[in-house]
Structure 1
Amino acid sequence: MGERLLRAALDHHGAPLRLSGVWDPSPEAATRLSAIAPTLPMLESAKAVIAGCDCLYVAAPPAAHLPLAGAALAAGRSVLLEKPLSHDTEAARAFVARAEAEGARAGVNFPMASSPAVAQLRAWMEAGAVGAPDSLSIEVAFAIWPRPWQHDAASWLSRRAEGGFTREVVSHFLFLTRRLLGPLTLESARATYPGEDRSETAVEARLTAGGIPVTLRGDVGTTDRDDTNAWTLRGPAGAIRLRDWSIAEREGPEGWATAPDAIPNERMRPMVLRGQMDKVIAMTRGEPHTLATLREALEVQEIVEAVLAAG
């Protein structure tokens, strides 16, 4: 994700955004970053990046998120954090309470905050395509975990302490649910682990969002695709869904109809990340924005960690 957001920032022409420096403790990752942005200063530490920036972006394993964000906020910087907010719920609660009390400029990188497909879902809901929602289902599946493009981070993504698909993928759909439907409450959950300290291979949960029943299911090894997912909202007037990250669809008499402007996620991702960059600029200036808030990210984290603890 650090590489993806770096590319998005480099492509963000015509806006008051300038990259001031980058640091990565991995020599291999640092080499890749240098290849993407040869003129970008490769600094000697995270402290040096914080000292030279207006806004710090943190793409790291979850245990590093809050210490780095705290250092940046203490230095008067704004912060964009990768999700999850943390793997430690108590630490996250304390961090969010302190940041809110201090009026910190901070957000979490849930890209669905800038997704045209999500905007289409919202428009359909406002137009009455669903009516008063009465159920939501969230389904995710993977051929293997971590996914092939994440192999360089497998040392922690495949481990129970900080990794797993519930933190990395399900959290996106819980954020979407929270933003469109309301506060989340977990009712029951089950997580399956393969043994030792490996991350989960399956989860099931029942929860509510704004009082609406939600079912969640995730599995590894149940599809031959790297990654497949569906967020499906139903009501008395009909159903809508977000499929495979970027495809908005509406159910009709002849089945599911895709939104006319829908495009695959590979093509939509750069557009979404440019939208995130616009919001980061606004946040850093102290202007209104719609990035995921720390409070939203904390709510998502609380549900995620409770599901994972049900193993």
Structure 2
Amino acid sequence: MDKIRLGVVGLGAIGAEMLDAAAKHPDFSVLRAADLDQGVLDRLGHVHPGVLFGTDASAVVRAADLDAVYLATPPALHAPLANQALDSGKAVFSEKPLAISLADGQRMRDAAARTGLANAVNFALSDRHAVLEIERGLRGPVRGVDIRLQFPGWPRDFQSTATWVAGREQGGFVREVLSHFVYLTDRLLGPLRTEYVSVDFPGSGSEIAARGLLRAGDVPVHVSAVAGLAGPEAYEWILWGAERSYLLRDWGELFVSDGGSWEPVTLQGERGSEFTRLTLFAEAIRGGAPADLADFDAALRVQHIIEAFHQ
């Protein structure tokens, strides 16, 4: 296959980053992009003069000159745009969460299965070198997992212009951040189920605290997350093993304990990025089945857990 002709819908912080990565990627040619903000279109148009920019997302996902689309819109638009793209013969790479309702997520998964087209969700940990190291070295019984997240403020600075991120309907750190670590736990230990979850909402806006007990088989998975505190931003995922335990901190720092103190792990290979996940997406489009790229099936399992916090 020649270069894969790609369209990008949604040009916020992550969408613009993916546009830049795809424009430099040898497997892709970016032909079209869409966003509602004309100022964003004008700015990026100067950077990418060969891309046709516009405000109509449907025009991109239905365009006959594209092979695939990347969706970085607010989550409520993922399902209608993904299904339009799949029904018009295009592979789909979507931001997480898959959708904001299980019904929409199921429709996306069903459309992907019906069409047989490549489908993927951009979970940042899917090809992170630290995750691959854990996967290679994991041994012995797992006794538990702790997921600990804290945010001085929400939204984070880089998402401050995306007003939906601060809203209860589509945003919040449960969907935006916890979903990554639910995916990771599902990937390593198998499907999760909820035993109990609770969320604290202020008078308006997204959650300020979330806690819960999940299980992967018999393995307990404890979740503790809070926003609006006096303290540093922190992301910790700890797998407690009978023989070896792992601490993943701040998305890519890995530590290991065989019974003593935490020791840093020197990681090999690429860290994992939008660029490397585009490589995996290209492999999927060309008929491969890359293990380090999350598909709609995996994302729907994650959504079942995430939406339990919102019910």
TM-score of the superposed pair, with normalisation by structure 1: 0.89
Residue from 8, 11, 16 that aligns with 2:27: 16
State the alpha-carbon separation in 2 of the partners of residues 177 and 104 from structure 1: 26
TM-superposed CA distance for 1:117, in Å, is 1.0
User: Counterparts of 1:1-311 in structure 2 under 5 Å?
Assistant: 1-12=14-25, 15-50=26-61, 51=63, 52-125=65-138, 128=139, 131-153=140-162, 155-196=163-204, 198-225=205-232, 227-252=233-258, 255-261=261-267, 268=271, 271-290=272-291, 291-309=293-311
State the alpha-carbon separation in 2 of the partners of residues 262 and 208 from structure 1: 31
CA shift digits 1:154-204 (9 cap, x unpaired): x211110000000000000000011111011011011000113x1000000
Q: For residues 262 and 284 of structure 1, do their structure 2 counterparts lie closer, same or farther at Cα, with a shift above 3 Å needed? A: closer
Confirm or deny: 8 A CA contact 1:247 1:262 kept in the other structure.
no
Matched position secondary structure for 1:161:
coil
Q: For residues 32 and 254 of structure 1, do their structure 2 counterparts lie closer, same or farther at Cα, with a shift above 3 Å needed? A: farther
Query: Which residue of 1 is the match for residue 4 of structure 2?
Result: none
Aligned partner of 2:305: which letter?
I
Q: For residues 60 and 252 of structure 1, do their structure 2 counterparts lie closer, same or farther at Cα, with a shift above 3 Å needed? A: same
State the alpha-carbon separation in 1 of the partners of residues 202 and 80 from structure 2: 31
State the alpha-carbon separation in 1 of the partners of residues 117 and 50 from structure 2: 31
Matched position secondary structure for 2:309:
helix
CA shift digits 1:50-88 (9 cap, x unpaired): 313111000010110011101110110100011111111
Q: For residues 219 and 68 of structure 1, do their structure 2 counterparts lie closer, same or farther at Cα, with a shift above 3 Å needed? A: same
Count residues in correspondence: 295
Q: For residues 102 and 49 of structure 1, do their structure 2 counterparts lie closer, same or farther at Cα, with a shift above 3 Å needed? A: closer
Could you tell which deviates more after superposition, 58-67 or 287-296? 287-296
Matched position secondary structure for 1:145:
coil
CA shift digits 1:26-58 (9 cap, x unpaired): 123323432442432213522332313111000
Unpaired segments ≥5 residues, structure 2? 1-13
Confirm or deny: 8 A CA contact 1:63 1:87 kept in the other structure.
yes
State the alpha-carbon separation in 1 of the partners of residues 48 and 231 from structure 2: 35
TM-superposed CA distance for 1:118, in Å, is 0.6
State the alpha-carbon separation in 2 of the partners of residues 253 and 178 from structure 1: 25
State the alpha-carbon separation in 1 of the partners of residues 202 and 91 from structure 2: 39
Higher strand residue share: 2
Could you tell which deviates more after superposition, 205-214 or 251-260? 251-260
Matched position secondary structure for 2:16:
helix
CA shift digits 1:242-262 (9 cap, x unpaired): 110011110255511111138
State the alpha-carbon separation in 2 of the partners of residues 191 and 287 from structure 1: 40
State the alpha-carbon separation in 2 of the partners of residues 222 and 33 from structure 1: 35
CA RMSD of aligned residues (A): 1.9
Aligned partner of 1:88: which letter?
S
Confirm or deny: 8 A CA contact 1:116 1:272 kept in the other structure.
no
CA shift digits 1:131-172 (9 cap, x unpaired): 21010000111010000111110x211110000000000000
Higher helix residue share: 1
Q: For residues 180 and 211 of structure 1, do their structure 2 counterparts lie closer, same or farther at Cα, with a shift above 3 Å needed? A: same
Matched position secondary structure for 2:215:
strand
CA shift digits 1:205-229 (9 cap, x unpaired): 101123311000110023533x311
Aligned partner of 2:266: which letter?
P
What is the identity percentage for the equivalent residue pairs of Structure 1 and Structure 2?
Answer: 33
State the alpha-carbon separation in 2 of the partners of residues 39 and 2 from structure 1: 17
Moved over 6 A (4+): none
Matched position secondary structure for 2:126:
helix
TM-score of the superposed pair, with normalisation by structure 2: 0.89
Q: For residues 35 and 308 of structure 1, do their structure 2 counterparts lie closer, same or farther at Cα, with a shift above 3 Å needed? A: farther
